[in-house]
Amino acid sequence: MSDVKDLKDWTCVYSLESSDDGGFLGIRIFVKLSRPLQTDSDSDDMKAVRHAAHTLEDGLRWSTARRDPKGPVWRQVYRDESAQAFASAGLAPIFVEEIPNEYCSRPCCLNRPWFLVTSPIGHIKIGWRKSVINIDWSRSVVKKSGMELFPDENVTRGDARDDDGGRFIHAGGIDVAIRYLKVLSAAAGGG
């Protein structure tokens, strides 16, 4: 491998510097070919460079997220928060299963999982979507849609005409999620 000082005949074809929750990431890709490099954006050479850069960036971001020492702590915080919401709503969880974040499948959300909660009224999926909490009761005994159960809420909620029956709602925080879970409990005959 050449030292950076020996790059006089090389062409920098890709450069990235960015910061996010995972920290700083910098990538530079240099190429040297025995033929002229095609540098127009639609060329096969540049398509190959973009593919390699994306693969490298994605791999490094996943590796960084998996190695985050705070990751297990954050996953436990979200688990505890969800379990406590169910307990506060009178639906003490029987079992809480961690599942991948269904809103965001990028490395930035690896340590922000969702949960499939087995409750006295069935399985309820709960998890953060940016600034709201998705609550999905499609696998519970409650058959009413979000529009039917929460007609006066001005939030995203499912409609019975949806393919999945519309059994979901977005809560604007954990206190609101508890209130919505209480409504689900009452609709199931639990309170």
Rounded distance between C-alpha atoms, residue 89 and residue 150, angstroms: 16
Which of 188, 191, 175, 189 has its CA nearest to residue 123? 188
SS3 state of residue 183: helix
pLDDT digits (tens, 9 = 90+) for 98-127: 999 999 999 989 999 999 999 999 999 999
- Which amino acid type is present at position 47? K
Q: What is the average per-residue pLDDT within 28-37?
A: 92
Other C-beta atoms lying within 10 Å of the C-beta of residue 70: 9
Rounded distance between C-alpha atoms, residue 72 and residue 112, angstroms: 10
Q: What is the average per-residue pLDDT within 119-141?
A: 96
